[in-house]
Chain A
Amino acid sequence: MPKRRDIVAIVLIVLPWTLLITVWHQSTITPLLATRKGTDDRRDGRSNSRNTFAFKESCSLQNRDIVEVVRTEYVYSRPPPWSDVLPTIHVITPTYSRPVQKAELTRLANTLLHVPNLHWILVEDSQRRTTLVSHLLQETGLNYTHLNVETPRNYKVRGDTRDPRIPRGTIQRNLALRWLRETFSPNSSQSGVVYFADDDNTYSLELFEEMRSTKKVSVWPVAFVGGLRYESPKVNTLGKVYGWKTVFDPHRPFAIDMAGFAVNIRLILSKPQAYFKLRGVKGGYQESSLLKELVTLSDLEPKAANCTKVLVWHTRTEKPVLVNEGKKGFTDSNVEI
């Protein structure tokens, strides 16, 4: 019967091509995805064994715990190519000159290089833009804006101390907000999120993806602040923030750290008077000084699984002990650190 034969023929033609296409698809496009699948399987396997064998890891895994992730063919482009679809994350980082500055900015840049559609606004606390920061920014290849503004020094006190009444980084953050307002008009269809990232904190990559969907202001827990393991907003069963789980003054309007919230850029642009208060701000109230101009408690969007996961850590770097430098400086000051 010719009809059946033709059907068989068509099947025989289509089947190997689909097989070939799936094989090609797997081998050329992202072996990373394949490895992620592989690692997921392994993770499930391990979690199962953990449930059944109490806390003991099986000894057979001891020497075989190699995840041979095949990444030889994966070309990592940094930063990731710009997407027309994703909202931009504008990260505002105030920074100031000190021995660990280059190290901090280096590792922060290494983190930010993984995040697509990221715009880094680095504001130096200095009279003019330093070559250290300029070179660093150029070499990273990130999409950046380099600004600078000097915190007024307290001339009454001897030495080069800045005015202690102004919380650190305030003027720099305000300058960045002003830059955003001057650069983007409120009517433009810009979609984006503004995040204040200090240069010594630690950020997981998941955090940036959580904040991308911010409509007004989103919040999440932050580790190592307020003398606690973590501070977090209190979220009720309806998914609304109704309070703050902190010990240090939980009755602040917004008892949250600078690293614990992100604002939609349209909100920033639509309220051009909202800035961080410069003077007369009590300790811990700086974030509230901005947020109370922008949003109310009920408008807050909890992220990080209803504020149950910690995705950002308020780490602080020790001040290095430079005793052996002596008065004149032992090392060559031309070498940049």
Chain B
Amino acid sequence: MRLNLKLISNKDYKTIIPKKQQLCTQMYKRDSPLLLWYFKRLSVVSGQRCDCTEHDMPKDRTISRLRGEMHRLQEQMRKSEATKQPQKQAAKPSQPAIFVITPTYARLVQKAELTRLSQTFLHVPQLHWIVVEDSPHKTPLVTDLLVKSGLTYTHLHMPTTKDHKLQEGDPSWLKPRGVEQRNEGLRWLREDRRAQPGGDNQQGVVYFADDDNTYSLQIFEEMRSTQRVSVWPVGLVGGMKYERPVVEGGKVVRFHTGWRPTRPFPIDMAGFAVSLKLVLANPDACFDREAPIGFLESSFLKGLVTMDELEPKADNCSKVLVWHTRTEKPKMKQEEAMRSQGLGSDPAVEV
């Protein structure tokens, strides 16, 4: 007895093209009633109803009637699948993705900073974390952390050139930091997104998040609706409790800041987000590492948008949802003393 049937799983059901097979009842003449019961219920077999002109046995007639019912049910199923599918496809791109670009560099508190940052990001749906290390190669610390984080991520690296690197003892404001890394993040993003379907019309938001700041979960929901560039207040920056854009009539008219308010965009890196469309439409917009201190954000934004085009978020820029916190450098007095005696802590233990 040859069983000419094809078992397909539910997954393949949508893609398979039903083959028109002449299934004859004669094949099942000697089969068990169990098989027939099975075929009646599992509507995976497709085929044409035999017209039973050749055999004309009462059993065959029953079988062909049952098969006809089965085909009818199959058609019904196919129709309902067809209506379900477009709904499913529409539900998928429900929220624009947020691409967070974080430059990072190796120091004692790096693992702690990235750990708590990843714990915040894990709450945000549709977030793609782009981590760019200031290093000639990817470090195992960051690699393992990203793998264990459970986030969608991209791991890149770009070393800062020596003349632009801060030396030991330099104050943090002496040279702009993270410039090459953010530009590398932008470059990767442009390259990756161009290859995606949708081209330059893709939905998404790009945000530059430093690894030592503190982000509330609301800021990500605020920035998701960015059409061009959106802005909001940042706490504990610019020598003040917070810096913010001043909004009148729903538009940004000036910036409330205590330090060099005449800058084109006197706003911190954590205080704005750019829509993906704008980033893709301006492939040359990047951060200028020769920009004077405090003008880094302006060097990027001035090519993208004007002040009146800015979209104020966070309740017309009246709420602080992100803070420019900085972490102290841990005191290693005893560690250094021990190391000089050759009794330093085990370097294999990752901190």
Contact = CB atoms under 8 A, between A and B. Distances in A.
Nearest to B327: A315
A96 interface: no
A43 B147 contact: yes
A238 interface: no
A66 B258 CA distance: 41
Interface string A4-20: 01100110110110011
B345 A228 contact: yes
A16 B7 contact: yes
A107 to B, nearest CB: 5
A78 B140 CA distance: 30
A106 B215 CA distance: 8
A223 interface: yes
Contact of A68 (B10, B152, B239, B333): B152
B137 A55 contact: yes
A157 interface: no
A218 B156 CA distance: 39
Q: Name which of B34, B44, B188, B233 has the most chain A CB atoms within 10 A of its CB.
A: B34
Interface in A62-86: 62-63, 65-69, 71-72, 76, 78
Interface string B315-351: 0001110011111101111110110000001000111
Interface string A192-218: 000000000011110000000000000
Given A23-B11, A71-B152, A247 B338 contact: yes
Given A16-B9, A76-B122, A228-B332, A103 B240 contact: no
B184 to A, nearest CB: 11
B54 to A, nearest CB: 24
A114 interface: yes
Contacts of B122: 76, 114
A313 B34 contact: no
B160 interface: no
Contacts of B328: 315-318
Contact of B155 (A65, A203, A248): A65
Interface in B97-155: 108-109, 111-113, 115-116, 119-120, 122-123, 125-126, 137-138, 140, 143-144, 146-147, 150-155
B217 A325 contact: no
Interface in A11-53: 12-13, 15-16, 19-20, 23-24, 32, 35-36, 39, 42-43, 46, 50
A229 B339 CA distance: 11
B348 to A, nearest CB: 9
Contact of A57 (B109, B138, B241): B138
Nearest to A313: B112
A2 interface: yes
A322 B242 contact: no
A100 interface: yes
A229 B34 contact: no
A103 B32 contact: no
B92 interface: yes
Q: Name which of B38, B112, B126 has the most chain A CB atoms within 10 A of its CB.
A: B112
B1 to A, nearest CB: 8
A230 to B, nearest CB: 6
A110 interface: yes
A335 B320 contact: yes
A73 to B, nearest CB: 9
Contacts of A329: 241
A308 interface: yes
A13 B38 CA distance: 7
Given A228-B338, A318-B326, A24 B192 contact: no
Contact of A9 (B35, B144, B215, B319): B35
A107 B322 CA distance: 10
Given A227-B332, A317-B328, A325-B240, A330 B152 contact: no
Interface in B283-326: 318-320, 323-326
Contacts of A62: 156
Contacts of A72: 92, 125-126
Contacts of A67: 146-147, 152-154
A43 B144 contact: yes
A111 B143 contact: no
Contacts of A39: 147, 150
A335 B9 contact: no
Contacts of A6: 32, 34
Contacts of A309: 349-350
Contact of B119 (A110, A223, A248, A317): A110
Contact of B154 (A43, A66, A114): A66
B34 A202 contact: no
A65 B154 contact: yes
Contact of A106 (B216, B241, B333): B216
A315 B110 CA distance: 11
Given A247-B338, A316-B328, A337 B320 contact: yes
A224 B319 CA distance: 34
B240 A322 contact: yes
A50 B143 CA distance: 12
Contacts of B349: 221, 229-230, 308-310
A337 B324 CA distance: 11
Contacts of A10: 34
A69 B151 CA distance: 7
A160 interface: no
Contacts of B183: none
Nearest to A17: B42
Contact of A202 (B44, B115, B216, B323): B115
Contact of B150 (A12, A16, A69): A69
Nearest to A245: B345
A39 B151 CA distance: 10
A36 to B, nearest CB: 7
B271 interface: no
5 contacts: A106-B214, A107-B116, A223-B351, A310-B350, A314-B330
Given A71-B152, A72-B126, A330-B240, 4 more contacts: A66-B153, A102-B235, A227-B332, A331-B242
Closest 4 CB pairs of A and B: A324-B258, A227-B334, A324-B239, A103-B323
